Amino acid sequence: MDRKPKILVIDDENANLTMFRLFLSAYGYEVLLAENGTGGLALFEKERPRIVFTDIKMPGIDGFEVLQRIKAADPGTQVIVITGHGDMDLALQALDLDATDFINKPISRSALDSALDRAEKRLKRVEEPSGSVSSFRKEGGVTIFEIVGRLDGKTGAELLQDWRVAKEEAGGVLIHFAATAGMNSAGIAVLIQLLSDAAKSGRKAVLTGVTENLREILTMVGITRLAPVFEQEQEGLLHLKKSVCR
């Protein structure tokens, strides 16, 4: 059995620290707790946990500074930020700073499980030789793009190049986000450009594999009006095939 990585949780609310300790300890993680950014950064320097949860809004050193300083010290550390319900603008700022994911208060077990799964899979990707961020293939008249790494301005340009090649053929478009995928505001802009172009050319499009939290951001910026979201790739394929048959 693989050894669970250390996890550091930084939050100025004791109730949240207690909840994280109970849940994460039950999952077999070694849990480190800090009540503020200063203490959290000190623990990080001493223990070097591979996964960090940090609240955004804290007195003194806030979560943004914690995120930036941890990423500067070790870019491979997976940092998940904790935001208040509806603070999508703060979540997007955190993603621009290379946060792995975000979870909203009150924290649900499903959101926590999803963030942990994504962080562990991204850790494995960091430790393996880096490959392409995205790839595409054809399946039954549908062009399937798979995003496995961080979609930003640079990698988004590669995705758009693939799209220019793929759109020469008719059919639906499916964009699947693997558990290791990430995105920032530049990546979201690329996604809007691709989906808008697909709509103009009469191509139906769907998104699959999007986490519950990321879906909130995609809804906020209007992407879900351009393409419906499905949990599984096969669900998206079935939707596209039904649309073609109508």
Based on the domain organization, do 158 and 209 belong to the same domain? yes
Query: Residue for token digits 């997976």?
Result: 78
Residues 6 or more apart whose CB falls under 8 angstroms from that of 194 comprise 159, 160, 163, 173, 175
Sheet harboring 142-147: ordered strands across?
134-139, 142-147, 172-177, 205-208, 229-230
Based on the domain organization, do 71 and 150 belong to the same domain? no
Based on the domain organization, do 107 and 156 belong to the same domain? no
Q: Of the candidates 106, 125, 144, which is a domain's last residue?
A: 125
Based on the domain organization, do 110 and 171 belong to the same domain? no
Q: What are the Cα distances from residue 228, in Å, to 59, 195, 223?
A: 39, 11, 8
Q: Which residues in the chain land under pLDDT 70?
A: 1-2, 126-131, 244-246
Reported for 17-20, long-range contacts at CB under 8 A and 24+ positions apart, including other chains, are: 19/107, 20/53
Based on the domain organization, do 117 and 11 belong to the same domain? yes
pTM (predicted TM-score): 0.88
Question: Would 121 be classed as within a structural domain?
Answer: yes
Q: Of the candidates 125, 155, 186, which is a domain's last residue?
A: 125
Q: Of the candidates 80, 108, 125, which is a domain's last residue?
A: 125
CATH number of the structural domain spanning residue 227? 3.30.750.24
Q: What is the pLDDT of residue 1?
A: 43
Based on the domain organization, do 219 and 150 belong to the same domain? yes
Tokens of 102: 């975000």
Closest CA to 218 of 188, 241, 178: 188
Question: Would 1 be classed as within a structural domain?
Answer: no
Based on the domain organization, do 106 and 196 belong to the same domain? no
CATH number of the structural domain spanning residue 19? 3.40.50.2300
Phi–psi pair at 144, nearest 5 degrees = -110, 120
Convert the pLDDT of each residue in 80-115 to its tens digit. Answer: 999 987 788 999 999 999 999 999 888 888 889 989
- Residue type at 238 in one-letter notation: L
What's the 3-state SS for 168-206? CCCCEEEEEECCCCEECHHHHHHHHHHHHHHHHCCCCEE
Based on the domain organization, do 47 and 114 belong to the same domain? yes
* Domain housing 118: 7-125
Tokens of 169: 């053929």
3-state secondary structure of 245: helix
Question: Would 155 be classed as within a structural domain?
Answer: yes
Tell me which DSSP letter residue 81 carries. Answer: E
Based on the domain organization, do 121 and 202 belong to the same domain? no
Q: What is the pLDDT of residue 134?
A: 85
